[in-house]
Amino acid sequence: MQIKSVRRTTVAAAVIGAFLVTLSACAVAPGGGSKNGLPGPHARAPRAPKASGVLPAPRAAAAGQDWRQPDGSVPVGDPGRLPGVGGLLRAAIPADTRQVVAVYGEGADSADSTVVLYTREDRGWQPAGSWPAHNGRSGWTTDHHAGDGRSPVGVFTVTDAGGVLPDPGTRLSYAQGRDLYAPPHYWSPAYRHDFDYVIAIDYNRLRGTPPHDTTRPLGAARGGAIWLHLDHGSGTSACIGLPREAMEYLLRTLDPARDPVVVMGDRPSLLS
């Protein structure tokens, strides 16, 4: 059920860092290297840019807290409570948000995670899909710095997408072009498909610009270009890797009119 909402311009996020100044955070090959971050002829004209914001770093959750049911299933929350997300991050979710991509990290130092898409309906937050995923190869952090191999903890809007492949039918702004997203030829074949589809996570970037845009409102040292993209079977530099069917589903399902956000982190941090 689609619910009409008013677009918000405030972006809530954890105090975190990201990756290299002019490179995509997930466009760093296992042995180093970069790719072209300049706009190409196939990029869609950007909407008016809006700078991302920052949320104070979450506190650690109490020991023993867990977002899962005893049988391992993801619980369904009431209208005011997103499963597995504590008060601090829950308060950062815009009131008009009706779609949440929740990334549940297995541990602070783990690259394994589970992604669940929730939609907010009259009966509360309802899971619409769940997939195995990978986050930063070294786990999670609330104070990310370039090269630490960790994904940022926080709440971020999602507004823009793109990739090597043509638009699969998304409502998000989509910038397509092989010259924009194809990894360098020297990357391992296992990584070559990573950017077939990407969804920009609005950390340290201008909303309404293509994912490959290199503008960093919080400064170059804080990095940027943290994306949802195709999984290669292991941890990333900071992005979230998902199966192809998950990326296609998210691209076709996420709706700007429902103010979608990503809520991401390891389980204890999410529960803070």
Q: Which of 57, 73, 65, 71 is nearest to 114 (CA)?
A: 73
pLDDT at 159: 95
pLDDT at 248: 98
3-state secondary structure of 32: coil
Read off the DSSP letter of residue 220: G
CA distance 115 to 45: 30
3-state secondary structure of 240: strand
Helix (H) or strand (E) holding 131: strand 124-134
pLDDT at 147: 81
pLDDT at 50: 40
- Lowest mean pLDDT segment, chosen from 33-42, 69-78, 218-227, 233-242: 33-42
Per residue in 59-102, pLDDT tens? 333 222 333 433 333 444 444 589 999 999 999 999 999 999 99
pLDDT at 68: 40
Look over the chain and give the mean of its residue pLDDT values, rounded to a whole number.
77
Cβ atoms < 10 Å from Cβ of 244 = 13
Residue 82: CA count within 13 A, CB half-sphere: 33
Q: Does residue 54 surpass a pLDDT of 90? A: no
CA distance 35 to 23: 7
The tokens describing 5, both together, are 């909402």
Is pLDDT larger for residue 7 or for residue 116? Answer: 116
Strand 150-152 with 139-141, pairing:
parallel
Burial class (CB in 10 A: 0-12, 13-18, 19+), 109: middle
Read off the DSSP letter of residue 269: H
**pLDDT tier for residue 184 given thresholds of 50, 70 and 90:** confident
Tell me the domain boundaries of the chain. Answer: 50-55+77-267
Per residue in 125-137, pLDDT tens? 999 999 999 999 9
pLDDT at 183: 84
